[in-house]
């Protein structure tokens, strides 16, 4: 049988930013009717390759064919005309327009008498697009910007699925989705494959890739290290390919047990969206927070971080009343926070790495009289960066220029820089590669060994079980139970989140 013509082939792709290579002769070949994973460590070059295919970034060199024909992709329009669709966090949305307007952006709106936009029909058509993903909780007439990140992603995906394209490129589509939403997306992706179109799928979630994808291409340092079917490769081999070393285990072992001293306590703490909750945390303890998204996790974290008006109840920190009125006050009390929406909340994109890391701590540091000078700041940031294998030219590089996963490492470095007593983590390893995840967990362990307490909100259940000492389950704004993490099984935790009986807790 003659080998089939690839749907897309990109070879000898090179790209350097200010002389620093991001891609050095990478290649990618996608066949018709397959789901193809694009994998690699943070900074390996995945996004750069995708942006080149999307016509957003110009390659220095590239040979690209679509259905066997040589093409040049010099604009987003050119990519669109070739039947390539991109679903990307950063592309193609206007938060101030409605969901329906975003879905139909660049397309002809339905009109009445050929003149006036028929808004009712536009909304109905948008609802039909959402229906394909089984979405019935999003109102097509509301502003896109008012939706959660997960819902915004669902809208983007619905829009891309409107017309029959050849290749759908998705960069971490499930990062902000719940388990159910992800499952619905996977069903649609399998339909796309069955219809003969293809999907290029970028993700750091190996389990997802193993379950969904047919083939994978692994990038490392801007080169394609390997490409092939996923049938005969193990999870561990894939990890080793990606990061060039073996990771022995997913979670570093705790070296110390939580101590007796209480660091933080909440007593009947409440805010809008959070019914009274009470719990306490000991030195060196990690309390995981599980629950379906929107169960009150964000409200709990914001209350502790001085970013939500506490309506009832009290908090103590190291035994003293703790009433942070602003996030700045929380930082001053050595309560640190890694937010989930790092772009919006965690970083000043057009400032250097070292400033981002030390910004929140400067006041206290200047009082203590240490690392005041920019050089000291830079050295300190460089050391922290090295601990986390931050891939950057140096501490003076602007955060904007880093890959997504490396930006997340900067947010994490900022949080640990002030030696926190209480560390609040919301999805701290989202978008972070397996090797760096391990490094982040190791730093959490180092902090707890020194006596810090951690509250970890995560939708990654193995991570919650692997890192936490105890797990509080939240449902409808309440903590319904707190269980020990040791020996807890994933499906028991899922059942607790959904409020189903498990037989394991009274």
Ligand X SMILES: Nc1ncnc2c1ncn2[C@@H]1O[C@H](COP(=O)(O)OP(=O)(O)OP(=O)(O)O)[C@@H](O)[C@H]1O
Q: How far is the CB of 79 from ligand X (least distance, A)?
A: 17
Q: What's the min distance (Å) between Cβ of 398 and ligand X?
A: 8
Using alpha carbons, select from 157, 165, 169 the residue that is nearest to residue 199: 169
Q: Please, what is the minimum distance in Å from the beta carbon of residue 34 to ligand X? A: 21
Q: Tokens 């193990």: give the residue.
A: 234
- Residues 6 or more apart from 72 whose CB is under 8 A from it? 64, 78
Nearest CB to ligand X, comparing residues 22 and 479? 22
* Beta pairing class for 84-87 and 35-40: unpaired
173 is a site residue for ligand X (CB under 6 A): no
Contact flag: residue 388 with ligand X (CB under 6 A): no
- Closest Cα to residue 347, out of 393, 388, 408, 303? 408
Please state the closest distance from residue 22 (CB atom) to ligand X, in A. Answer: 3
Kindly state whether residue 391 participates in binding ligand X, applying the rule CB under 6 A: yes
Q: Of 7, 10, 22, 287, which lies in the binding site for ligand X, with binding defined by CB under 6 A?
A: 22
Any contact of residue 223 with ligand X (CB under 6 A)?
no
Are residues 139 and 147 in contact, defined by beta-carbon separation less than 8 angstroms? no
In the chain, what are the helix, strand and coil shares in percent, each to the nearest 5? 35, 25, 40
**45 to 74: interface string for ligand X, x by CB under 6 A:** xxxx--------------------------
Report the sign of the C-alpha dihedral through residues 333, 339, 344, 346, in that order: positive
Which residue is nearest to ligand X, using beta carbons? 405
Q: Does 140 bind ligand X (CB under 6 A)?
A: no
Q: How many residues does the chain have?
A: 506
Of the pair 152, 403, the CB lying nearest ligand X is at 403
Q: State how far Cα 505 lies from the chain centre.
A: 32
**Least distance (Å) between residue 357 CB and ligand X:** 16
CA distance 82 to 103: 20
Q: Judged by CB, which is closer to ligand X: 51, or 282?
A: 51
Count of residues of this chain found to bind ligand X when the rule CB under 6 A is applied: 17
The CA distance from 427 to 116, in Å, is 45
Among 4, 5, 17, 363, binds ligand X (CB under 6 A): 17
Cβ atoms within 10 Å of 180's Cβ, excluding its own: 10
Q: Is 406 in the site for ligand X (CB under 6 A)?
A: yes
Sole binder of ligand X in the list 9, 42, 295, 358 (CB under 6 A): 42
* Cα–Cα distance, 302 to 323 (Å, whole number): 12
- Give the residue with the Cβ less far from ligand X, 202 or 453: 202
Which of 63, 118, 214, 401 binds ligand X (CB under 6 A)? It is 401
User: Of 27-35, 329-337, 404-412, 416-424, which segment contacts ligand X by CB under 6 A?
Assistant: 404-412
Interface with ligand X, residue 89, by CB under 6 A: no
Q: How far is CA 357 from CA 72, 373, 392, 424, 454, in A?
A: 40, 14, 14, 16, 19
Q: Is 366 exposed, middle or buried (0-12, 13-18, 19+ CB in 10 A)?
A: exposed
Q: Which is nearer to ligand X, 171 or 299 (CB)?
A: 171
What one-character-per-residue DSSP string does 49-118 give?
HHHHHTTSS--SEEEEEETTEEE---SHHHHHHTTEEEE-TTSS--TTSBHHHHHTTTSPPPEETTTEE-
User: Residues 264 to 323: which contact ligand X by CB under 6 A?
Assistant: none
The 3-state secondary structure of 13-46, one letter per residue: EEEEECCEEEEEEEEEEECCCCEEEEEECCCCCH
Residue from 26, 44, 488, 493 touching ligand X (CB under 6 A): that is: 44
Report in angstroms how near the CB of residue 463 gets to ligand X at its nearest.
17
> Which span sits near ligand X by CB under 6 A: 40-48, 112-120, 174-182, 335-343?
40-48
* Beta-carbon count within 10 A of 158 CB: 25
- Of 6, 43, 140, 477, the residue at the interface with ligand X (CB under 6 A) is 43
Distances (CA, A) of 426 to 84, 166, 202, 455: 34, 36, 22, 8
Candidates 142-150, 308-316, 400-408, 448-456; binding stretch for ligand X (CB under 6 A): 400-408
DSSP 3-state of 367: helix
The CB-of-36 to ligand X minimum distance in angstroms stands at 16
Under rule CB under 6 A, residue 404 binds ligand X: yes
Contact between residue 410 and residue 347 where contact means Cβ atoms under 8 Å apart: yes
Closest distance to ligand X from the beta carbon of 116 (Å): 42
Q: Does 121 bind ligand X (CB under 6 A)?
A: no
- Any contact of residue 403 with ligand X (CB under 6 A)? yes
Nearest approach, Cβ of 436 to ligand X (angstroms)?
Answer: 9
Nearer to ligand X (CB atom), residue 342 or residue 414: 342
Query: Of 80-88, 335-343, 398-406, 449-457, which part binds ligand X (CB under 6 A)?
Result: 398-406
- The site for ligand X (CB under 6 A) is made up of 17, 22, 40, 42-48, 391, 401-406
């Amino acid at each position: 049988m003659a080998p089939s013509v690839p749907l897309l082939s990109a070879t000898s792709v090179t790209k350097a930013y200010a002389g620093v290579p991001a891609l050095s002769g990478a290649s990618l070949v996608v066949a018709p009717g397959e789901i193809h994973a694009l994998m690699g460590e943070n900074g390996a070059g995945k996004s750069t390759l995708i942006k080149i295919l999307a016509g957003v970034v110009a390659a220095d060199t590239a040979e690209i064919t679509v259905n066997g024909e040589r093409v040049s992709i010099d604009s987003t329009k050119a990519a669109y005309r070739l039947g390539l669709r991109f679903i990307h966090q950063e592309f193609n949305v206007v938060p101030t327009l409605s969901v329906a307007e975003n879905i139909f952006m660049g397309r002809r709106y339905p009109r009445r008498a050929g003149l006036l936009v028929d808004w009712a029909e536009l909304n109905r058509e948008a609802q039909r697009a959402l229906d394909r993903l089984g979405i019935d909780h999003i109102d097509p007439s509301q502003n896109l910007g008012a939706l959660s990140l997960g819902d915004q992603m669902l809208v983007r995906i619905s829009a891309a699925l409107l017309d029959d394209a050849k290749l759908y490129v998705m960069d971490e589509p499930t990062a902000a989705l719940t388990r159910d939403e992800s499952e619905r997306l996977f069903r649609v992706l399998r339909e796309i494959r069955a219809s003969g179109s293809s999907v290029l799928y970028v993700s750091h979630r190996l389990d997802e890739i193993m379950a969904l994808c047919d083939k994978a291409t692994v990038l490392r340092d801007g080169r394609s290290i390997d490409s092939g079917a996923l049938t005969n490769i193990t999870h561990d081999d894939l990890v080793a390919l990606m990061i060039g070393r073996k990771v022995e285990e997913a979670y570093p072992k705790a070296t110390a047990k939580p101590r007796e001293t209480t660091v933080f306590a909440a007593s009947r703490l409440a805010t809008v969206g959070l019914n009274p909750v009470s719990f306490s945390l000991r030195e060196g303890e990690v309390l995981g927070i599980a629950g379906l998204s929107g169960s009150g996790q964000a409200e709990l974290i914001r209350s502790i971080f001085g970013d939500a008006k506490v309506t009832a109840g009290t908090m103590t920190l190291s035994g003293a009343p703790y009433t942070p009125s602003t996030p700045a006050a929380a930082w001053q009390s050595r309560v640190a926070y890694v937010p989930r929406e790092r772009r919006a909340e965690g970083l000043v994109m057009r400032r250097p790495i070292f400033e981002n890391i030390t910004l929140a701590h400067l006041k206290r540091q200047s009082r203590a009289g240490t690392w005041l000078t920019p050089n000291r700041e830079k050295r300190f940031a460089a050391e922290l960066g090295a601990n986390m294998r931050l891939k950057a030219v140096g501490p003076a590089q602007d955060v904007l220029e880093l890959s997504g996963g490396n930006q997340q490492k900067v947010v994490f470095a900022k949080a640990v820089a002030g030696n926190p007593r209480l560390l609040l983590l919301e999805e701290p390893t989202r978008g972070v590669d397996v090797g760096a995840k391990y490094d982040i967990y190791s730093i959490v362990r180092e902090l707890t060994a020194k006596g810090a307490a951690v509250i970890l909100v995560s939708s990654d259940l193995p991570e919650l079980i692997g890192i936490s000492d105890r797990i509080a389950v939240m449902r409808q704004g309440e903590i319904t139970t707190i269980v020990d993490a040791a020996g807890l099984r994933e499906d028991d935790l899922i059942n607790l989140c959904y409020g189903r009986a498990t037989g394991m807790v009274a």
